[in-house]
Amino acid sequence: MVLSKFRFLGLLSLLFAGASFAQRQTVLQQIDLPHSYYYREMYLPQLTTGPSAAAWSPDSRSLVYSMAGSLWRQETAGTMAEQLTAGPGYDYQPDWSSDGRWIVFARYDHDAVELWSLDVRDGRTRQITSGRAVNVEPRFSPDGKQLAFVSTSYKGHFHIFVGRFEGGTLSDVRQLTAENVSPLPRYYYSKVDHEISPVWSRDGSEILFVSNRGHIHGTGGFWRMKAEPGAEAREIHYEETNWKARPDFSPDGKRMVYASYLGRAWHQLWVMPAAAGDAFPISYGEFDNTSPRWSPDGTKIAFISNRDGNTSLWIQAIPGGEQTEVVARTRKYLKPMGRLALHVIDSRGKPVAARVFVTGADGRASAPDDAWMHADDSFDRSERPFEAHYFDTMGTSELTVPAGTVQVDVMRGFEYAFEQQQVEIKPDSTANLTVHLRLMIPYEPAEWVSGDVHAHMNYAGTYRNTAEHLVEQADAENLAIVEDLIVNKEQRVPDIERFMPHPDPASTEQHLLLHGQEFHTSYWGHLGLLNLTQNFLLPGYAAYPNTAAASLFPTNANVADMAHEQGALVGYVHPLDSFPDPTKDESLTYELPADVALGKVDYIEVVGFSDHKSTAEVWYKLLNCGFRLPTAAGTDFMGNYASLRGPVGLNRVYAEVKPGPLEIEPWLAAIKAGRTFATNGPLVSFELGGKKVGDEVQLEKKQDVPFKVSLRSIVPLDHLQIVCNGKVARDIELKGDRKTADASGTVVLDSSGWCVLRAFSDKAEYPILDLYPYATTSPVYVNVAGAPLRSPADAAYFVAWVDRLIAAARSNTSWNTDAEKQSVLGLLGEAKKKYEPVGR
């Protein structure tokens, strides 16, 4: 998971990276909360090909639900779904009025989420909120005359609002829950308390909601208050919810049902007394059952399940427990539709897995009915009205799309050219489209093996992933190795049962799946632990306030020692969002420079879920202090998310190994030896003085040293540079389409140090779903006449950094014992001494 440690941009970072952030901006920027990738996936509605939310008709015979961005109505005893909306935008979270006439829902369009009403009699829709906020979770009062919902209209935070609903319009909207700034030390949640998931009491006098008032971890407990602004709220139940509790009352008002993961890894349905009391589960399984809605007749609960991977709609009898799936075997559409039969083949004419983006004539994304739809987390508003959506194909897919011109984009990793085609779809007919993928790599795949050292198979997302499906996801990205780093999501540790000291049995000859660990201490920084051979390290974190793991011990250095004892590789993951300034930053507890100095770090994700250029600047300074630190790359891929920053292998490392069967040991050895390059798109190779990356060039004196470089990229690039000792030693001109280069020449080397080759663009380039295209090799090291590498300015920078670590540790009051504190202070003091000779 992501650690956003530094919020203050240094001058160097501004100069180097400032232009890159102007184009790609996050989805729904009006929300002012930290860690958008969590609340967006776990709380905001998602575009899925399966159902995502449901509400009952007043007679308990039909359901209205969201699916594929539209609303659908279906009788629970039938198999035909009738489409009620078809855009523009994407429609979610319906609720049905008690008189049966009105449905309200949330529509994502024009970079906002507004509430709309639908007249069931004639199908007319009307927008009922405005202001371009994010408005979600609308719920009718029992008499249908009021509407409660969650909105960010006040300062970008999630609060509950109520308004009068009449004739399909909303008026007299008032903020029900006031803004409160908490003094609690929250990391994954805002300092402002939130209130979400409102539901009316059966007499319409009170609102039940979820809030983190008074709590550090999770989205909070259940609260009740009179449906009047300023009324006092009381907490009736607390457990560590995580955005998806979404309670609902029974028709008699005596009970409530909600989704809980208490004591387990997956959400199931739980019930408890509506006034307060003890809860117990009414469903079980190693999958999620969420979004429960009690039927008006009290005999059934509808809910969303991911038991088969994708989302599906189910009904459970109350009492009894019988579960029945509601399946739409036929669909009645509002607009003319056709079919697209897609075939993706390689140079041999064989079907091949790939990632596919399909945009219909209506501007909305489409996917096969059984495919997992994924959405990008950011996009350039000047290029497109919505973020990119995509699905994986194993080579052949068929999907229903609106009649008209359909845009189809296909990519398969970075070794194949990106293909874009259009196809005309006629009503009630099938169009065939065959996409030929062209290989463009500058080296043999057997010599350079790709891998993502930072993925998470399941992490509290919309879908339920399996090892077999994760291997298919890697196949679509032409990725050879996936390191699934098992890690806690607050109390849960998803997939801990999959931990094993060898490749997962789902691995194939072309793809290896490994299960390692991400040690999850946000105070010191997150670590990747690859190839643990004995056991998972527990607890998997430190410095968690208000828990038994509040102490700063163990440090990451201690964790690295435990991991190395098991033969693991230890790396710093998603390091830096901006360039840190030890003299100015308000907080600086990131342990990286101390651990590098102590020899605890085997690699760093220069390309990861962070700013690559800021990370590289710190990396260069570490290299300038004489430390040999290879680059790797990891996406922080959330394998079961519907919305995420990119697919597995978006950020990947290539390691040079000898030709032969795909094995993990030589690949990890190549990473540790620095025979790597890291990239989110550009493929690069670099030789200096006849030496490859990870090797050392030995010179007797200053001289011109020959180099050879190559570049292949699926997108245009702006820069191809040789960087030596932190400075650009050679700019290599990019010509034509700026996607390829093969060059040779010489660079002057007059002192010991290192050189890398890097390639990047100044702005984002679709279809690379990252801040900007970027690649770097690990260093070729340089030894001139045996002279040591000296960099007083860089050494002083890290001395100041470690001084900040020491000061923070000394003032911390969460230690279990004084011995812990003194051992950590001693360790940091030892690290500081390592920089002193470099500064002389």
- Give how far Cα 563 sits from Cα of 496, 530, 601, 648, Å: 17, 9, 11, 25
Question: Quick check: 773 pLDDT over 90?
Answer: yes
Question: Quick check: 591 pLDDT over 50?
Answer: yes
Q: What mean pLDDT comes out for the span 154-161?
A: 98
Residues 6+ apart with CB under 8 A from 519: 487, 526, 527, 529, 537, 540, 541, 556, 559, 563
CA-CA distance, 720 to 734, in Å (whole number)? 7
Q: What share of the chain is helix, strand, coil (3-state, %, to 5)?
A: 15, 40, 50
Return the closest-CA partner of residue 479 out of 454, 450, 507, 455.
Answer: 450
- Any idea how long the chain is? 840
Farthest CA pair distance, the chain: 90
Strands 80-83 and 330-332: parallel
Q: What is the mean pLDDT of the chain?
A: 95
Q: Is the backbone of residue 232 left (phi > 0), alpha (psi -120 to 50) or beta?
A: beta
19 pLDDT band (50/70/90 cuts)? very low
Q: What is the dihedral of CA 750, 755, 761, 762, to 10 degrees?
A: -50
Q: What mean pLDDT comes out for the span 1-8?
A: 33
Joined tokens for residue 302: 């509808």
Q: What mean pLDDT comes out for the span 748-758?
A: 97
Whether 499 and 536 have beta carbons less than 8 Å apart is answered as yes
Q: What 3-state class would DSSP assign to 34? A: coil
pLDDT tens, position by position, 269-325: 999 999 999 999 999 999 999 999 999 999 999 999 999 999 999 999 999 999 999
Question: Quick check: 22 pLDDT over 60?
Answer: no
Could you tell me what percent of the chain has a pLDDT over 70?
97
Q: What is the pLDDT of residue 14?
A: 30
Long-range contacts of 807-816 (CB under 8 A, 24+ apart): 808/587, 808/588, 808/589, 809/552, 812/552, 814/543, 814/545, 814/550, 814/551, 814/552, 815/551, 815/552, 815/553, 816/551, 816/553
Return the closest-CA partner of residue 180 out of 206, 154, 151, 162.
Answer: 154
Q: What 3-state class would DSSP assign to 839? A: helix
CA-CA distance, 536 to 530, in Å (whole number)? 11
- Give how far Cα 319 sits from Cα of 276, 298, 326, Å: 21, 9, 19
- Residue whose tokens read 């998470």: 456
Return the closest-CA partner of residue 184 out of 218, 152, 207, 209.
Answer: 218
Whether 698 and 799 have beta carbons less than 8 Å apart is answered as no
Q: What is the pLDDT of residue 484?
A: 98
Q: What is the pLDDT of residue 443?
A: 59
Residue 189 has φ and ψ, to the nearest 5°, of -130, 160
Return the closest-CA partner of residue 39 out of 219, 164, 191, 167.
Answer: 219
Question: Quick check: 7 pLDDT over 80?
Answer: no
Radius of gyration of the chain (CA): 28
Q: Which amino acid is at 660?
A: G
The pTM score is 0.96
Q: What mean pLDDT comes out for the span 379-395?
A: 95
pLDDT tens, position by position, 232-267: 999 999 999 999 999 999 999 999 999 999 989 999
Return the closest-CA partner of residue 483 out of 460, 514, 504.
Answer: 514
- Give how far Cα 412 sits from Cα of 244, 376, 475, 556, Å: 34, 17, 8, 36
638 has which bridge partners? 456
pLDDT tens, position by position, 194-223: 999 999 999 999 999 999 999 999 999 999
Q: What mean pLDDT comes out for the span 158-180?
A: 98
Q: What is the pLDDT of residue 316?
A: 98
pLDDT tens, position by position, 405-421: 999 999 999 999 999 99
Q: Which amino acid is at 702?
A: K
Q: What 3-state class would DSSP assign to 175? A: strand
446 pLDDT band (50/70/90 cuts)? low
Distance of CA 750 to the CA centre of its chain: 44
Q: What mean pLDDT comes out for the span 451-480?
A: 98
445 pLDDT band (50/70/90 cuts)? low
DSSP 232: P
Using CB atoms within 10 Å of the CB of residue 566, give its burial: 0 to 12 exposed, 13 to 18 middle, 19+ buried: middle
836 pLDDT band (50/70/90 cuts)? confident
* Bigger pLDDT: 782 vs 838: 782
Whether 777 and 723 have beta carbons less than 8 Å apart is answered as no
pLDDT tens, position by position, 75-89: 999 999 999 999 899
CA-CA distance, 758 to 686, in Å (whole number)? 9
CA-CA distance, 808 to 555, in Å (whole number)? 13
Joined tokens for residue 304: 């969303």
Q: What is the pLDDT of residue 444?
A: 59
Sheet of 396-402, strand order: 396-402, 337-345, 430-436
21 pLDDT band (50/70/90 cuts)? very low
Q: What is the pLDDT of residue 441?
A: 78
Neighbours of 728 (CB within 10 A): 11
Strands 448-456 and 481-486: parallel
Return the closest-CA partner of residue 630 out of 614, 606, 666, 650.
Answer: 606
User: Which range (20-29, 116-125, 497-506, 748-757) has the least confidence?
Assistant: 20-29
Question: Quick check: 838 pLDDT over 90?
Answer: no
Q: What is the 3-state secondary structure (H, E, C) of 412-448?
A: CCCCECCEEEEEEECCCCEEEEEEECCECCCCCCCCE
Q: Alpha-carbon torsion 59, 61, 63, 64, what sign?
A: negative
Q: What is the pLDDT of residue 837?
A: 81
Q: What is the pLDDT of residue 9?
A: 29
Joined tokens for residue 528: 């990747």
Whether 37 and 377 have beta carbons less than 8 Å apart is answered as yes
